[in-house]
Structure 1
């Protein structure tokens, strides 16, 4: 004959270890949150069995109630955790309703016949039949786990149902066995022994289910990873094709710029030749004519320098900055002289620096930037509106501001102005290429400076150049690197 106390102790220890094992599994795979419910179910069953083991020969009814309801609550949590783990809707509410009905029947049996154990056995059998039947249905409709594993688990649940029905049948057919025995005696040992085997078998089956779930998840992740790798390779191929197209486009652009450079030099050479011939043919020309001829020659020279530096791609790649000390006062006079040749000097309001800082940079580049900004301000302003040019020193920066009262920049287009070939929507009636501000920002970038555009209160635009003082070191490889990096950008 099996000793019931020893059997209960063994079952308590086994069930508690199983609950601890489920907690460890959940700690390892946190995304399987359903395992917490399964661990809680095993813990509740272990606690109920432990309280059952502590019963005396004449336990209090409250003790009987707590023992039985704790074990039943564990079964409810176990069923809900299994349903959620298999991907089905949770059955906690249904289980609690069944538990509430069982509690009512159990309490009614205790009140009407406190010494009749068979009524409580029948109530427990009904509860077991309902909960195990619900778990069997969940396993039957499930398709996520292998069929053989589901059927083995169903067989275990059916065996437990059969054992409960057998116990209820014995209580019905042989009531003297129940009536003459204590509430918990060795007569019940066979039932708890098969219950122990059931819990061990259920633990093993569910552990295999977790293993299959992890295997399926790993397979799905590998499939997703393979799909992502395929997608990345496709994108890499598209990117490579795009880079090839970009290289081809850059090559076409390089050839186009070379052609434009050649075509620009031809009429400029003709203009220079015509200017020289006029100077030879006209003996002692009037001052106005001589001034115009000098202005034409200076403009042609400047255009030739721009072509040599900015339109000839072959020269850009190997070019270096011609760093020298900047004289802002002299630069101001040269700018005024340039615009004086084209009859626009009267519109300029120059404000040179009083305290001249020591700044080193490519003077020709900076002159080109300021001339381009002033030229834009004059071009997009009315002929009676002045253009203000101010040189200043702020903290450790050399600042040049060109302010106009022109047409301004439309809202929403300010961030686009300065891109290659981009022109604002309100400049279409005025001739232009969209390269002026792009070139200015590129040249300022060589000097590690910045060019900002902002609307002017009352209408117009303010262009601000900020150059860090003392500028660039003359004749250093760092300058060549700066030019090369800016060209590639």
Structure 2
């Protein structure tokens, strides 16, 4: 005959160790959060068995109730944890409903017949049938675990159901055998022994299920990793093809720029030659004629300079930026003279700085930017409205503002102004190609500065250039820095 106290103590230790083992497994693989429920289920069973072990010879009814309900709560948590682990909807609500019904029947049996153990045992058998049947159904419909493992687990559950039915049958057929003995007598040792074997067997089956789950997860991750590697190789191939296309496009653009540069220089050279011939042929020209000839020559020089500095990419890489200290008075004078030659100087109001700024950069480029901005302001402003050019220093910046009372820029299109070939919708009646502001931004970018366009109070636009002081002074010793180096910087 088995000693029941020793058997219960062994089962308490075994179940507690199993609960601890599940906690360790969950700590190692946190994403398997369902293992917490399984660990909680084994912990509740261990606690209920410990309370049974500590029960005295004449226990209180509440003690008996708490012991048994704790063990059955553990079965509910086990069923819910196993269902969630296998990827099925949780059954905690159903389990708690079954447990609540069992508690009601158990309480009623203890209240009506406190000395009749058969009613409580039959109620426990019904609860066991319901919970084990729920777990069997979950395993039967599952397809994630190997079939042999599922059927072994189902066999364990069926064995436990059979033992519970056998206990109820023995009490029903031989009531005198249990009439004089308490429920925790050695007569019931066989039932607790098979329960111990059931818990150990269930632990082993669940452990194998976790191993299968981890193996499947590893296989899925390997497959996902292989797919990602394949996808990255495909993207790498597409990127390589795109880079090749970009190189081809850049080469075509370089050739196009070279062709445009050549085609532009030919008529400009003809204009310059014609201007020089007119200067030779016309003896003692009037002031107006001489002024016009000087203006034509200045415009041709500026166009040639623009081609050399902007359109010809190859020339930019070779000649680069010509760094020198900015002579602001000379710069403002040349800007003023340029527009005087085309009879627009009277509309220009220049406000230079009193002190010469300590700024280093490509003066010709900066002059081209200011001329382009002023030309735009004059072009899109009424003939009776002046254009103001203001130089100032603020927060270690050289600031140049070109303000007009022109047509302005539509608010919806303000972010697009300055893109290559883009022209605002309200400029269509005026000739242009959409390269002026783009050129300005490009040349200012070589100096690590910024160009902003803002609406002016009362109408018009304010173009603001901000150049960090002292500019490209670090390159002043070599007196030259390539455009590509400036863009990288």
TM-score class normalised by the smaller sequence: over 0.9
Task: Determine the structure 1 residue equivalent to 2:91.
Answer: 91
What is the CA–CA distance in structure 2 between the aligned matches of 1:96 and 1:487, rounded to whole Å? 70
The 2-side partners of 1:307 and 1:335 are apart by 19
> Match for residue 187 of structure 2?
187
- Alignment deviations for residues 32-76 of structure 1 (CA, whole Å, 9 cap, x no partner): 221111111111100000000001111111111010010011111
Q: Deviations over 1:143-176 (max 9, x none)?
A: 1111111000000000000111111111111111
| Residue aligning to 1:223 | 223
Give the equivalent residue in structure 1 for 2:113: 113
**Once the 2 structures are TM-superposed, how far is the Cα of residue 485 of structure 1 from its aligned partner?**
4.0
Is the 2:15–2:43 Cα contact (8 Å) retained in structure 1? yes
In the alignment, is residue 414 of structure 1 matched against residue 414 of structure 2? yes
RMSD: 1.6
What is the alpha-carbon distance in structure 2 between the residues aligned to residue 442 and residue 129 of structure 1? 82
Partner of 2:312: 312
Matched with 1:402 is: 402
Deviations 1:253-308 (A, max 9, x none): 11111111111111111111111111111111111111111111111112112212
Indicate the residue corresponding to 2:279 in structure 1.
279
Is the Cα contact below 8 Å between 2:444 and 2:451 reproduced in 1? yes
8 Å contact kept, 1:391–1:399: yes
Distance 1:438 1:103, change over 3 A: same
What does the per-residue CA deviation read over 1:96-121, in whole Å, with 9 as the maximum and x for residues that have no partner?
11111111211222122212212211
Deviations 1:442-488 (A, max 9, x none): 2212222211111212222111111122222244569626x214567
> Which residue is 1:44 aligned to?
44
Give TM-score, length-normalised by structure 1: 0.96
Distance 1:27 1:422 in 2: 61
1:35 corresponds to 2:46: no
Query: Contact 1:451/1:464 (CA < 8 Å) preserved in 2?
Result: yes
Q: How does 1:456-475 map to 2 (within 5 A)?
A: 456-473=456-473, 474-475=475-476
Q: Return 135-144 or 81-90, whichever deviates more.
A: 81-90
Secondary structure at the residue paired with 1:412?
helix
- SS state of the match for residue 481, structure 2? helix
Alignment of 1:260-271 (within 5 A): 260-271=260-271
Shift of 1:405: 1.4
In structure 2, the residue matched to 1:480 is: 481
Alignment partner of 1:291 is 2:291: yes
Moved more, 211-220 or 6-15: 211-220
Question: Do the aligned partners of 2:23 and 2:35 also contact (CA within 8 Å) in 1?
Answer: yes
How many angstroms apart in 2 are the aligned matches of 1:254 and 1:270? 25
Distance 1:368 1:189 in 2: 104
Whether the 8 Å contact between 1:75 and 1:131 is mirrored in structure 2 is yes
1:234 shift after superposition: 2.1
Whether the 8 Å contact between 1:11 and 1:196 is mirrored in structure 2 is yes
1:389-434: CA deviation from partner (whole Å, max 9, x where unpaired): 1011113111100011112122232222222222222223322222
> Is the contact made by 1:317 and 1:487 (CA closer than 8 Å) also made in structure 2?
no
Counterpart of 2:427 in structure 1 is 427
Unaligned 5+ residue runs, structure 2? none
Larger deviation, residues 128-137 vs 400-409? 400-409
How far apart, CA to CA, are the structure 2 residues paired with 1:262 and 1:292?
26
Question: Partners of 2:427 and 2:239 in 1: how far apart?
Answer: 35
Task: Tell me how far apart the structure 2 counterparts of residues 339 and 84 of structure 1 sit (CA, whole Å).
Answer: 82
2:156 equivalent in structure 1: 156
CA contact (8 A) 1:9 1:50 kept: yes
Matching of residues 19-34 of structure 1 within 5 Å: 19-34=19-34
Given that residues 360 and 470 in structure 1 are in contact (C-alpha distance below 8 angstroms), is that contact kept between their aligned partners in structure 2? yes
The 1-side partners of 2:74 and 2:30 are apart by 21
